[in-house]
């Protein structure tokens, strides 16, 4: 089954990472790894935010973030990573999920380090969009997020006759 990676897994993909070896091997076998457009939005946001000039910013960190952004775009352009679009069907499914689950489950609701409540809500909507996109495409979702199985269960309730969204833990490298 084809795999799509969410932000928790995709953000670890770097030029010197074991994840790159894994992705390259899959690509050589004709089984490219996919990221959703929502996953890329989250990654691009973090990298672009890191490149903004702010007081006290480590300029080496900004340069590294810019280089990572350029490198990731090159991998996408080369076809190493497929990008799954957030189309109208995924938008419909994500809207239904959000109507049923407007906020993260209590177990996942503890605020992430360094993020505001508003940023956590945006991250939640992105997770719903990612799950909906992967579900519509019929891919498995590779994630370290604890709340994706809860979303998958809700998808099964929404579309009981459709194949379920399968959640896989990222490989240990």
The series of mean pLDDT values per 10 residues for the chain, 173 residues long, is: 92 92 91 94 93 71 90 95 97 97 70 74 94 97 92 96 94 81
Please give the pLDDT value at position 116.
Answer: 82
Identify the pLDDT of residue 109.
45
The CATH classification of domain 3-168, taken from the options 3.40.50.1010, 3.40.50.300, 3.40.50.1820, 3.40.50.700: 3.40.50.1010
pLDDT at 53: 73
- CB burial string 140-169: b at 16+ within 10 A, e below: ebbbebebbebbbebbeeeeeeeeebbbee
List the strands of the sheet with 3-5, edge to edge. 81-84, 33-36, 3-5, 140-142, 167-168
CA distance 142 to 129: 15
Q: Tell me the three state secondary structure of residue 173.
A: coil
pLDDT at position 61: 81
Q: For position 110, what pLDDT does the model report?
A: 57
> Of the candidates 114, 98, 119, 108, which has an alpha carbon nearest to the alpha carbon of residue 143?
108
pLDDT, position 12: 92
The pLDDT value recorded for residue 113 is 65
**CB-CB neighbours of 35 under 10 Å:** 27
Q: Which of 93, 97, 121, 95 has the alpha carbon at shortest distance from 108?
A: 121
- pLDDT value at position 57? 57
């Amino acid at each position: 089954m084809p795999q799509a990676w969410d932000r928790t897994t995709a953000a670890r993909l770097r030029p010197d990472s074991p994840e790159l070896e894994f992705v390259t091997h899959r690509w050589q076998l004709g089984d490219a790894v996919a990221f959703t457009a929502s996953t890329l939005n989250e990654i691009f946001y973090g990298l672009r935010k890191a490149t903004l000039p702010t007081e006290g910013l480590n300029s080496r960190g900004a340069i590294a973030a810019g280089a990572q952004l350029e490198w990731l775009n090159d991998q996408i352009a080369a076809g190493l990573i497929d990008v799954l679009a957030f189309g109208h069907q995924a938008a419909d499914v994500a809207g239904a999920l959000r109507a049923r689950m407007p906020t993260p489950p209590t177990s996942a609701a503890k605020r992430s380090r360094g993020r505001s409540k508003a940023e956590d809500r945006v991250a939640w909507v992105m997770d719903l969009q990612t799950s909906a996109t992967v579900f519509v495409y019929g891919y498995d979702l590779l994630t370290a997020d604890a709340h994706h199985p809860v979303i998958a269960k809700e998808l099964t309730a929404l579309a009981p006759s459709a194949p379920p969204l399968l959640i896989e833990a990222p490989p240990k490298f």
